[in-house]
């Protein structure tokens, strides 16, 4: 298999017990773009030091010793060079880079911060109970959870009736961007975010639900709090538990607890799900069709230095097929400035990363897109 313009897609759907059937998808997506070096803009050492001091103040960085500060400056300077080289390319890239709170971390430290080696456990490693689906199906044909009317509408959308763009953030059905901190809990944030949005679309009430509840109480063998998990198994927990608690009742702490605090809070009405199913791969239109109905859980490769420093635009940077980070797709569209189609994705690294916590990832159906 040879990668060309895009990497891997994998779709997952979950059905919710709401008045109108809803759908949760998980997809794996990442994208490849060649990087051409450009000369770093000439900046004096004193100017760089001043810029580093400003960055430290902005992100409240304090180092314990002079040697540590110098070490972090050298790493930050390498990040600065990467940003300048990338942003000064001609023609202009489809996305820009910028500094964030992780600019003083090496790539290995960045991976360790989010436990990327274990944070996302792929579906291929998951053994689900017998009552859950084990194979890919066409979401429009999943008649166990969609009505005849919704089936016909889904088919029509897949073929010819998909809108040019979808944005669940603009509609007010996506909670604020969160920060998972130094913890590999992306899988819990992704799955909980999908439930939050599905509930909001169904009953009009947007509520911050608790990733920590899922982390502490989901006892599937593959889910291990800050050490990683899988969105399918998180959905199974929500279904089995008949919902989850609010963030305020079960606050996020970015740690693993020895015991489940389930008894200390009440599940939010409407936060239960009826099930989930893996849906058709190798088809961006399948994901688009689902996103017309609600946000979707997504697994991506977030390991590159370009993704680490992403700031704005349509990300089409280097990637590989090893999925290591769970996020939430909240729409799609076309960026007029970049002249590129994209998926709109909500991350869980705080609003200081990316475009206020979001990233537009290149959307393509060209050769090179495949399922995993």
What are the residues whose beta carbons fall under 8 Å from the beta carbon of 217, sequence distance 6 or more?
A: 237, 241, 260, 261, 262
Q: Is 347 a catalytic residue?
A: yes
Candidates 7, 186, 217, 319; catalytic one: 186
CB atoms within 10 A of CB 51: 15
Backbone φ and ψ of 203, nearest 5°: -115, 0
Containing 202, the helix (H) or strand (E) segment is: helix 186-203
Helix axis angle, 45-58 to 66-87, nearest 10°: 100
Total Cβ atoms within 10 A of residue 55: 19
Q: Residue 150 and residue 338: Cα distance in Å, rounded?
A: 34
Other beta carbons within 10 angstroms of residue 148's beta carbon come to 8
Burial 117-135 (b: 16+ CB within 10 A, else e): eebbbbbeebebeeebbee
Annotation marks residue 265 as catalytic: no
Q: Following DSSP, what letter does each residue of 102-165 receive, concatenated?
A: TTTS-HHHHHHHTTTTTSB--GGG----TTS--S-B-GGG-TTTS-HHHHHHHHHIIIII--S-
Judge whether 27 and 328 are in contact, CB under 8 Å. Answer: no
Q: Residue 325 catalytic?
A: yes
Cis peptide before 191 (omega within 30 of 0): no
Question: How far apart are the C-alpha atoms of 190 and 256, rounded to whole Å?
Answer: 18
Contact between residue 361 and residue 350 where contact means Cβ atoms under 8 Å apart: no
Q: Please state, in angstroms and rounded to a whole number, the distance separating the CA atoms of residues 68 and 359.
A: 31
Q: Tell me which residues are annotated as active site.
A: 186, 325, 347
């Amino acid at each position: 298999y040879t990668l060309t313009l895009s990497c891997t897609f994998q779709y997952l759907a979950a059905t919710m017990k709401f008045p109108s059937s809803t759908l949760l998808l998980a997809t794996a997506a990442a994208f490849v773009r060649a990087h051409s070096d450009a000369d770093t803009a000439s900046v004096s050492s004193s100017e760089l030091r001043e810029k580093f001091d400003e960055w430290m103040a902005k992100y409240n960085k304090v180092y314990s010793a002079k040697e540590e500060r110098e070490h972090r400056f050298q790493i930050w300077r390498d990040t600065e060079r990467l940003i300048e080289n990338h942003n000064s390319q001609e023609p202009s890239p489809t996305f820009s880079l910028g500094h964030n709170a992780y600019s003083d971390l090496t790539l290995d430290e960045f991976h360790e911060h989010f436990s990327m080696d274990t944070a996302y456990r792929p579906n291929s490693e998951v053994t689900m109970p017998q009552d859950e689906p084990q194979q890919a199906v066409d979401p429009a044909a999943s008649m166990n959870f969609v009505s005849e009317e919704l089936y016909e509408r889904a088919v029509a959308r897949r073929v010819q009736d998909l809108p040019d763009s979808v944005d669940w953030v603009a509609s007010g059905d996506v909670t604020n961007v969160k920060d998972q901190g130094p913890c590999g809990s992306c899988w819990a944030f992704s799955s909980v975010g999908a439930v939050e949005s599905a509930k909001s679309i169904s009953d009009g009430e947007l509520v911050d639900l608790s990733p920590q509840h899922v982390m502490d109480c989901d006892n599937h063998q593959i889910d291990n709090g800050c050490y990683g998990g899988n969105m399918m198994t998180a959905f199974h927990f929500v279904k089995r538990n008949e919902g989850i608690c609010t963030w305020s009742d079960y606050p996020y702490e970015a740690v693993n607890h020895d015991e489940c605090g389930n008894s200390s809070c009440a599940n939010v009405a409407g936060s239960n799900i009826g099930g989930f199913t893996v849906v058709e791969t190798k088809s961006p239109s399948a994901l688009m069709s689902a996103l017309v109905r609600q946000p979707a859980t997504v697994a991506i490769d977030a390991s590159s230095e370009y993704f680490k420093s992403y700031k704005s635009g349509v990300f089409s940077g280097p990637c590989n097929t090893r999925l290591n980070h769970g996020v939430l797709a909240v729409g799609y569209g076309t960026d007029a400035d970049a002249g590129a189609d994209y998926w709109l994705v909500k991350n869980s690294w705080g609003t200081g990363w990316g475009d206020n916590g979001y990233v537009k990832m290149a959307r393509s159906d060209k050769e090179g897109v495949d399922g995993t």
